[in-house]
Amino acid sequence: MQLVEQKNKIIQSMTFHKGLVSSLWRLPTEILSQIFHLCLPEDKYLSPSSKQAPMLLTTICRPWREVVVGTPSLWCRLNVEPSGRDWEKADWEKAVVFYHSWLKRARGIPLSVAFKCWNSSEQRSLLLPYVKQISSLAIRIYHGSGNPEDLLKDLPRLPALQELVVRAPIFTPRMSKSISRLPSTMRSLDVSELPPFDIERLAWFNHVWVHLTNVKIFISHPDALLHLLRLCPNLSSLTVHTSFYDAKILEPLTHANIQSLSFLNHSGDIGCLTGLFNALSLPNLRVFELQHKAKNQWPHEVSLAFLARSRCSLESLIISGRVMMTEVQRAEYIALSPSLNIFVVRRSQHFS
């Protein structure tokens, strides 16, 4: 009797799952595609793996494979990160065939591609067939990476490029020449992991700044930061790594379009930002963040004066790292902007 009951339960379970699978098969392709998008990793650039979507979905059944392979937007993000052995000629040629098959499935839609650059000339050959599709490109260059100029020199040939991330231990005028010739489609530039920029280095990109709305950068001096703001009239989001060591008096500057401003201060004294706060007015600011590694009191008087002078409708004030704010200070900010949310984060992931 017990065996009969177990058999009936197994039959019921099989019937239920067959019905479920049958229902999934009957879903329109558009619905399945949307479901498959929800299965993708949240990473901006996907590292191919047979254990995660979209590749995993191609192994479930033939109908699913047809939908996955036939949905270009599942294949428009790629992180090219071969293992050390893949740079041997035979293995790299095999890897290139795989990467091409991935990118071809995107069928002409905009691509987001990341390279960890060890052998730039080989990666350049992979990049060239897709120059008209690439809208987002991230390049991390390592010491001994062959000749990184080979990869960077094709940047002016990317007519659809909107976002560029370059991370490198050194940055030469020759490397910057390619970035200075970027197309007017560019909107976002992340050079926060390059050596610090001064006014002279900012001049390397003079023809690029005017189009940008989002910048992440390491600035060596407050004068250079104010100069950057003058070069970027359309800027709406700015993340600045700073290592200032003085609080000199600066010429006042108003920037009408910045909505989000983040400072990641690497110097020991938070007071070095005083001169900058005293000079700036940002009437459209909505999000203001300060991260500081060393233990310091929040620069309350100058920051409160900065916000009052800007007359902005600040929505979020974010304090990260080891900066301290008192309850009385918090109340004064709320009085200045009643809808303000203040977040105190006792960590500093950007300094790791």
- Out of 185-189, 320-324, 325-329, which region has the weakest mean confidence (pLDDT)? 320-324
- Residue 9 pLDDT more than 60? no
In a domain, 266, yes or no: yes
* Parent domain of 315: 187-352
Clarify whether residues 63 and 208 are in a common domain: no
Global pTM value: 0.84
How confident is residue 340, by pLDDT bands cut at 50, 70 and 90?
very high
Clarify whether residues 117 and 194 are in a common domain: no
Clarify whether residues 225 and 270 are in a common domain: yes
The whole-angstrom separation of Cα 139 and Cα 122 is 14
Question: Cβ of 256: how many Cβ atoms within 10 Å?
Answer: 11
Clarify whether residues 129 and 212 are in a common domain: no
Matching residue, tokens 């065996």: 3
Q: Residue 251: exposed, middle, or buried by beta-carbon count in 10 A (0-12, 13-18, 19+)?
A: exposed
Clarify whether residues 130 and 244 are in a common domain: no
Task: Looking at 187-265, list the stretches that DSSP marks H as alpha helix, in order from N- to C-terminal side.
Answer: 199-202, 206-209, 222-231
What's the structural domain count of the chain?
A: 2
The 10s digit of each residue's pLDDT in 294-319 is 666 677 888 899 999 999 999 999 98
In a domain, 193, yes or no: yes
Distance (Å) of CA 261 to CA 217, 287, 299: 12, 6, 16
Clarify whether residues 225 and 315 are in a common domain: yes
pLDDT score of 181: 83
pLDDT score of 337: 87
Q: Identify which has the larger pLDDT, 109 or 29.
A: 109
Q: Are 117 and 145 in contact (CB under 8 A)?
A: yes
Clarify whether residues 72 and 133 are in a common domain: yes
The 10s digit of each residue's pLDDT in 196-216 is 999 988 998 888 899 999 999
In a domain, 282, yes or no: yes
For the residues 122-147, what does the mean pLDDT come to?
81
- Out of 19-28, 115-124, 269-278, 337-346, which region has the weakest mean confidence (pLDDT)? 19-28
Q: Residue 229: exposed, middle, or buried by beta-carbon count in 10 A (0-12, 13-18, 19+)?
A: buried
In a domain, 27, yes or no: no
In a domain, 14, yes or no: no
Clarify whether residues 142 and 89 are in a common domain: yes
CATH (domain of 221): 3.80.10
How confident is residue 268, by pLDDT bands cut at 50, 70 and 90?
low
In a domain, 239, yes or no: yes
Beta strand spans in the chain (E): 77-80, 111-117, 134-141, 163-167, 188-191, 214-219, 237-242, 253-254, 260-265, 280-281, 287-297, 316-324, 341-345
- Residue 352 pLDDT more than 50? no
Clarify whether residues 202 and 334 are in a common domain: yes
The segment with the largest mean pLDDT, out of 50-54, 271-275, 281-285, 336-340, is 281-285
In a domain, 56, yes or no: yes
Clarify whether residues 240 and 281 are in a common domain: yes
- Among residues 101, 131, 163, the one where a domain terminates is 163
Q: Is the Cα dihedral 265, 334, 226, 256 positive or negative?
A: positive
Clarify whether residues 158 and 217 are in a common domain: no
Clarify whether residues 159 and 191 are in a common domain: no
- Residue 347 pLDDT more than 60? no
Mean pLDDT, the chain, whole residue set: 82
In a domain, 15, yes or no: no
pLDDT score of 300: 82
Q: Identify which has the larger pLDDT, 293 or 351.
A: 293
